[in-house]
């Protein structure tokens, strides 16, 4: 298994091009199942998760062309309405093919999903939304078997908690349903807006994406479209924090501060200066050492759970004590003991981690069991004294495009050790 070897302690100077958002691209790709015409998607990141979903889409009969960051998808006919365990178990976003298949073909059989081990991550809200639209849903040996022979119907869907995936899934199914669907307590993440923009370009009628009430008026058919995926806000935040950990100054090309929500204020409080211009964001640490800041993860526009691990890495060497509360997933502190192996002083009590800043971390072999936690360890390694070996690089390959190239370009000493 590949590892990343990082020699820490070098400030970062230069430019990093922020890629298209993984979590947006994956849902936009699922939208290709809704039409027999061509969907052309620009700014798609080359990531293991994207490849995995492409395999699944090809299995459903989608023709795929991927050149540079441009992906062309055409589902002339649906060859199979079944998404097998092998293609769904590794990644949760694959589950979102269920709604489009059901909406277009009136039936689908999709394995229950896998994904990062950050909590229980049920799909009950996805299924309740589809059932509210008239789907008959059964569970059979690890598969969801769904049928709507007369098509789906518009419905009122009131989510008890905010779920990004369930909101997206409800929209993906509602666009071809008969009548109007109103989703309340909808997620407001920028990826929801991106998906809605793509679907509207395909002829869907959607109002309110980006607010907590979304109304979808079903249309009989969708057509082809061109769509550009928005820049990855999690990658943006992670590299901004890299400048915080290592010092220096980075220009994050294509980054957009408006996508970062509360993270902007938190990073500024910690001692980073973020300056936006029309083509990107410049970031530098204004203090010798970052300041400790308390944090609670929240749905957008709150501070994202997907940046919590990276922020914890930043806080390990901050001046003072930072209390970090994770409210979205119940098992998302797995990086804490690994950071401890590098000399961080972190105590975890349930969903709260208390990080007492130390002057410097020391490099060590570490490993994480999810994507964002792995990035937290990379950041810690960039600031640490000596060598850090981050094991299980395949997690990073799922979500950070050309990670080591981007960092090396800015002066980091980081290389992939094949193994
Ligand atoms: C998306 O996951 C992202 N993944 C996650 O990013 C991200 O952490 C998360 O949203 C929150 O922002 C993708 O977009 C592919 P949720 P999702 O449904 O949709 C509970 C990464 O690293 N819940 O908003 O799965 C759930 O267990 C990944 O890129 C139910 O109880 O997240 C969690 O506690 C990791 N029942 C909470 O809701 C359901 O049916 C929020 O999860 C669905 C969710």
CA of 8 to the centre of ligand 1 (A): 32
Q: What does the alpha-carbon distance between residue 371 and residue 22 come to, in Å, rounded to a whole number? A: 12
Enumerate residues 6+ apart whose C-beta is below 8 A from 337: none
Please, what's the b/e burial string for 223-240 (b: 16 or more CB within 10 A of its CB; e: otherwise)? ebbebbbbbbbbbbbbbb
* Ligand 1, residues at Cβ distance < 6 Å: 23, 26, 92-93, 116, 119-126, 161, 163-166, 304-306, 328-329, 371-372, 399
What confidence category does residue 379 fall into, taking pLDDT thresholds of 50, 70 and 90? very high
Beta bridge partners of 307: none
Closest atom of ligand 1 to 128 CA is 40
Percent of the chain with pLDDT over 90: 92
Specify whether 290 is catalytic.
no
Residue 269's nearest CA partner among 297, 251, 295 is 295
Q: Is the peptide bond before 27 cis (omega within 30 degrees of 0)?
A: no
Residue 4's nearest CA partner among 411, 408, 284 is 408
Order of strands, sheet of 156-158, starting from the edge strand that comes earlier in the sequence: 156-158, 180-184, 213-217, 205-207
Q: State whether residue 150 is helix, strand or coil.
A: coil
Give the residue, by CA position, lying nearest to ligand 1 atom 20: 121
**pLDDT tens digits along 291-309:** 999 999 999 999 999 999 9
Which of 116, 198, 290, 410 is catalytic? The answer is 116
Question: What is the CB neighbour count within 10 angstroms for residue 350?
Answer: 9
Residue 56's nearest CA partner among 77, 76, 34, 85 is 85
CA dihedral angle for residue 47, residue 102, residue 42, residue 85, rounded to 10 degrees? 10
| Confidence at residue 119, expressed as pLDDT on a 0 to 100 scale | 58
- Please determine, for residue 121, whether its predicted confidence score (pLDDT) is greater than 60: yes
CA of 122 to the centre of ligand 1 (A): 9
- Which of 19, 20, 23, 326 should be mutated for ligand 1, with most atoms under 8 A from CB? 23
Residue 244's nearest CA partner among 232, 236, 233 is 236
**pLDDT tens digits along 384-400:** 999 999 998 888 999 99
The whole-chain average pLDDT of the chain stands at 96
The answer to whether the beta carbons of residues 41 and 73 sit under 8 Å apart is: yes
Region at 128 (left for phi over 0; alpha for psi -120 to 50; beta for the rest): alpha
- Write down the H helix ranges in 255-367: 263-270, 308-315, 335-341
Rounded to 10°, the helix 164-174/98-105 angle is 10
Percent of the chain with pLDDT over 70: 98
Tell me which of 51-55, 251-255, 274-278, 390-394 is least confident. 390-394
**Measured between alpha carbons, how far is residue 174 from residues 131, 168, 210, 416 in Å?**
12, 10, 17, 44
Q: What does the alpha-carbon distance between residue 21 and residue 163 come to, in Å, rounded to a whole number? A: 18
- Which of 165, 166, 237 should be mutated for ligand 1, with most atoms under 8 A from CB? 165
- Please determine, for residue 117, whether its predicted confidence score (pLDDT) is greater than 70: no
Q: What does the alpha-carbon distance between residue 215 and residue 302 come to, in Å, rounded to a whole number? A: 23
Query: Element (H or E) spanning 167, and its range?
Result: helix 164-174
**What class has domain 22-220?**
alpha beta
Q: State whether residue 32 is helix, strand or coil.
A: helix
| Confidence at residue 369, expressed as pLDDT on a 0 to 100 scale | 80
Please, what's the b/e burial string for 272-307 (b: 16 or more CB within 10 A of its CB; e: otherwise)? bebebeeebbbbbbeeebbbbbebbbbbbbbbbbbb
**pLDDT tens digits along 204-244:** 999 999 999 999 999 999 999 999 999 999 999 999 999 99
Q: What does the alpha-carbon distance between residue 353 and residue 326 come to, in Å, rounded to a whole number? A: 8
DSSP assignment letter at 292:
P
Phi–psi pair at 206, nearest 5 degrees: -130, 135
- Write down the H helix ranges in 247-324: 263-270, 308-315
CA of 115 to the centre of ligand 1 (A): 10
Q: CATH 3.65.10.10 residue ranges in the chain?
A: 3-18+231-417, 22-220
- State the CATH architecture for 3-18+231-417: Alpha-beta prism (3.65)
CA of 162 to the centre of ligand 1 (A): 9
Q: What does the alpha-carbon distance between residue 76 and residue 88 come to, in Å, rounded to a whole number? A: 22
Q: State whether residue 206 is helix, strand or coil.
A: strand
What confidence category does residue 114 fall into, taking pLDDT thresholds of 50, 70 and 90? low
């Amino acid at each position: 298994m590949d590892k990343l070897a990082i020699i820490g302690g070098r400030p970062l100077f230069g430019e990093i091009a922020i890629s298209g958002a993984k979590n947006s691209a994956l849902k936009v790709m699922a939208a290709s199942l809704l039409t027999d015409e061509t969907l052309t998607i620009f700014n798609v990141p080359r990531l293991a998760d994207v490849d995995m979903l492409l395999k699944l889409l090809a299995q459903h009969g989608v023709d795929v062309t991927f050149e540079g960051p441009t992906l062309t998808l055409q589902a002339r006919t649906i060859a199979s309405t079944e998404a097998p365990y092998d293609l769904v178990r590794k990644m949760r976003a694959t589950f979102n093919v269920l709604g489009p298949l059901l909406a277009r073909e009136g039936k689908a059989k999709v394995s229950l999903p896998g994904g990062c081990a950050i909590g229980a991550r049920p799909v009950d809200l996805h299924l309740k939304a589809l059932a509210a639209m008239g789907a008959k849903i059964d569970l059979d040996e690890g598969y969801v078997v769904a049928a709507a022979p007369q098509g789906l119907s518009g419905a009122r869907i009131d989510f008890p908690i905010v779920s990004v995936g369930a909101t997206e899934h409800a929209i993906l199914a509602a666009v071809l349903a008969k009548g109007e669907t109103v989703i309340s307590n909808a997620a407001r993440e920028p990826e929801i807006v991106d998906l809605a923009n793509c679907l509207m370009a395909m002829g869907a009628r959607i109002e309110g994406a980006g607010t907590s009430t979304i109304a979808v008026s079903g249309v009989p058919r969708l057509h082809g479209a061109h769509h550009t995926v928005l820049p990855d806000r999690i990658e943006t935040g992670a590299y901004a924090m890299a400048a915080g950990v290592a010092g220096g100054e980075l220009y994050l090309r294509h980054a957009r501060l408006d996508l970062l929500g509360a993270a902007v204020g938190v990073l500024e409080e910690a001692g980073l200066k973020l300056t936006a211009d029309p083509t990107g964001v410049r970031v530098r640490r204004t203090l010798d050492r970052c300041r400790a800041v308390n944090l609670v993860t929240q749905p957008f526009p709150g501070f994202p759970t997907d940046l919590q691990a990276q922020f914890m890495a930043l806080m390990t060497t901050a001046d003072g004590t930072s209390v970090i509360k994770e409210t979205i997933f119940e098992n998302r502190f797995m990086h804490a003991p690994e950071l401890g192996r590098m000399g961080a002083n972190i105590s975890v009590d349930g969903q709260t981690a208390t990080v007492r800043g130390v002057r410097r971390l020391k490099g060590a072999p570490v490993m994480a069991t999810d994507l964002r936690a792995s990035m937290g360890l990379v950041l810690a390694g960039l600031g640490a004294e000596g060598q850090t070996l981050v094991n299980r690089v395949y997690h990073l390959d799922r979500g950070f495009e050309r990670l080591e190239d981007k960092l090396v370009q800015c002066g980091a000493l980081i290389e992939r050790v094949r193994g």
